[in-house]
Amino acid sequence: MVRIAVVLLALACAAPTAAQGFGFGKQEPDVVNLGVLGAGVDVQEETLPVRLVLPGGPAAQAGLRVGDVIVGVAGARLQKTADPLAGPVEQVIAAVERAEATKKKPVVVLAVRRGAEEVQVSVRVPYLGKHSRSCPSKCKKCARVVEQGLAFLARTQGPSGEFPTDLGGKTGKVVVTSLGGLAFLSAGVKPGRGGPLDRAARYVLSHVGKEEASPLAGAGGGNWNQVNWELAYGLMFLAEMAHRTGRPEFLQKCHELVTALERTQEASGGWAHGPGGPNALGYVELEIVSNYALLGMAAARGLGVELDAAKLSKALSWIEETSGGTGGVGYSTRPGQKGFGDAGRTAGAIVAFQALGAERHPFFRKMVGFYQGNLRKLPAGHVSPAMHLLAGAMAAHVLGKSAWKTYWKTYRTHVMGVRKPDGSFAPTPTHESRSLRNNTDRTVGPRWTTATYVLILTLHKGNLPALLGGGKGRKKGKKKIRARPRTGSRPRTGARS
């Protein structure tokens, strides 16, 4: 197996599992996080062997040790569940949530097997109160969780405004910083006050799309250009900044990024990690890049940037082609990659189609059906569960209150379970990350996962109108596009043909 310690985020999100021979991600314990306890565990049916105890965290202060085995919580034995990775973790997280809602004595009592004896470990957690019935909307507890996440992002921001990442060089920094900026915007932070949001915007504005020689250029004889990821994420963030501020430098950069994405679009209609031919794994397009490229372009169109109608139509048709006739969006149209629908990719495509006004495209309803039928599979998505969970949340948001209610009921415990004592959010192990002995979300780093979950917790606020229409349907002024433009006619798209 070829082992490459650091590659760009995009290529890490690239190869299908069967083809992904590269060792992406740090070789760290790929543990399941136990909420704000400050501990990470493996899952073995009815027990949780402790593999990580964060120094100074509540679990460490209570005396929990690596090597301990949790066998019960709150007076009840742990129970085996259908999901071998989740196991009885949700049972522990539910106990943590109950303790956080108990003002007088917020304590989680763990039954722990330590060697030949069983002991009790009482872990005191911060009081945060109860969830509201409308959670995460109008929920004081979720608001505190968001505040803690933003505080973590703010204090770990780099000196130039970037949010650091261990993966991807400049492209990785632009991607993570753009996502972090969107998290601040979504939470309701206003630009123009000189804080972390403005510093992030200045970093992205000055770095996105700028050429930079990759340290891996030529390695393995492949193409290592990853620029499409930063073009797409940078465009999404800067379009929101342009919408919010009206500043000409943001709008000008949106024009430039749209032009760049139209230029790097492949003849097929899809996008690769970057231009230049097959990458180090021997392929070109991957569908997931299309989702974010199109979403950014749709946001720019709402600002008055003209889009190429023919390129848009080809892009939507190519996405449909990846499905092989089903509603599930596949990895690409290549043999062996076509037809393998993924809930996260499909969710991202739903958001992109909706942003472009393409809900009447014949493939849209098929995608919605696939997404709804596979909602529980989002965390099992290829390479980055965080990316797929956020795509699923955005899809639920644009599909309406019922879809959001179902999403949140499914994933509230998960979101609360990945919180850490320092306000950050932990990565999630998957069968794929275990089999490949790496976790890309862990390598991209806590700014990536924290920004992701802050966004999930704040989408209901409607503070991303350029991307998501403010939570009240599509933004006024966006026009619908046909699945395919008529020959010789100008499509009614607000786009150029």
pLDDT at 218: 54
Segments forming the whole domain that contains residue 137: 9-14+133-471
**Do the domain assignments include residue 354?**
yes
> In this structure, are 120 and 147 located in the same domain?
no
Which of 102, 124, 146 finishes a domain?
A: 124
> Mean pLDDT in the chain?
88
Residues 119 and 145 in one domain: no
CATH of residue 239's domain is: 1.50.10.20
Judgement on whether residues 73 and 216 belong to the same structural domain of the protein: no
pLDDT bracket for residue 223 (50, 70, 90)? confident
Does residue 59 surpass a pLDDT of 80? yes
Read off the pLDDT of each residue in 145-152 and give the average, rounded to a whole number.
99
pLDDT of the residue at 373: 97
Ranking 230-244, 401-415, 426-440 by mean pLDDT, the lowest is: 426-440
| Burial of 468 (C-beta count, 10 Å sphere; 0-12/13-18/19+) | buried
* Per-residue model confidence as pLDDT tens digits over 451-487: 999 999 999 999 999 999 844 333 433 433 333 332 3
Asked whether residue 496 is assigned to any structural domain, the reply reads no
Structural domain ending residue among the three candidates 124, 155, 187: 124
Domain boundary among 99, 124, 149: 124
* Structural domain includes residue 290: yes
Return the CATH number at 73: 2.30.42.10
Give percent of the chain with pLDDT exceeding 70: 86
The answer, yes or no, to whether the previous bond of 136 is cis (omega within 30 of 0) is yes
Burial (CB count within 10 angstroms: exposed 0-12, middle 13-18, buried 19+), residue 493: buried
With a cut of 80, say whether residue 490 has pLDDT above it: no
318 and 255 part of one domain: yes
427 and 380 both lie in a single domain: yes
Task: Name the region of 65 (left: φ>0; alpha: ψ -120 to 50; beta: rest).
Answer: beta
Question: Do 386 and 452 lie in a common domain?
Answer: yes
Distance CA 467, CA 192 (A): 20
Q: Is residue 491 part of a domain?
A: no
Predicted confidence band of residue 23 (pLDDT cuts 50, 70, 90): very low
Q: Are residues 340 and 441 in the same domain?
A: yes
- Asked if residue 305 and residue 238 are part of one domain, the reply reads yes
Residues 344 and 218 in one domain: yes
Amino acid at 203: Y
Measured CA distances, 70 to 109, 113, 154, 330, 429 (Å): 10, 6, 34, 39, 19
Q: Is residue 177 part of a domain?
A: yes
What's the confidence (pLDDT) of residue 111?
A: 98
Distance CA 411, CA 376 (A): 8
Residue-wise pLDDT tens digits, 167-217: 778 999 999 999 999 999 999 999 999 999 999 999 999 999 997 765 555
Overall domain count for the chain: 2
User: What's phi and psi for 218, nearest 5 deg?
Assistant: 85, -10
Residue 386 lies in a domain: yes
pTM for the structure as a whole: 0.89
pLDDT per residue over 303-325, tens digit each? 999 999 999 999 999 999 999 88
196 to each of 159, 203, 333, how far by Cα in Å?
A: 10, 11, 40
Find where tokens 């209150």 sit: 401
Q: Are residues 199 and 109 in the same domain?
A: no
Contact at 8 Å (CB) between 227 and 275?
Answer: yes
421 within a domain of the structure (yes/no): yes
Q: Which amino acid is at 216?
A: L
pLDDT of residue 487: 30
What number is the average pLDDT over the span 67-91? 88
Asked if residue 143 and residue 119 are part of one domain, the reply reads no
The pLDDT, as a whole number, for residue 209 is 94
Cβ atoms within 10 A of the Cβ of 487, count? 5
Confidence tier at 81 by pLDDT (50, 70, 90) = confident
DSSP classification of residue 23: -
First to last CA, the chain: 47
Q: What is the pLDDT of residue 73?
A: 97
Q: Considering the domain boundaries, does residue 192 fall inside one? A: yes
Distances (CA, A) of 379 to 383, 385, 432: 10, 5, 11
Query: Do 314 and 440 fall within a single domain?
Result: yes
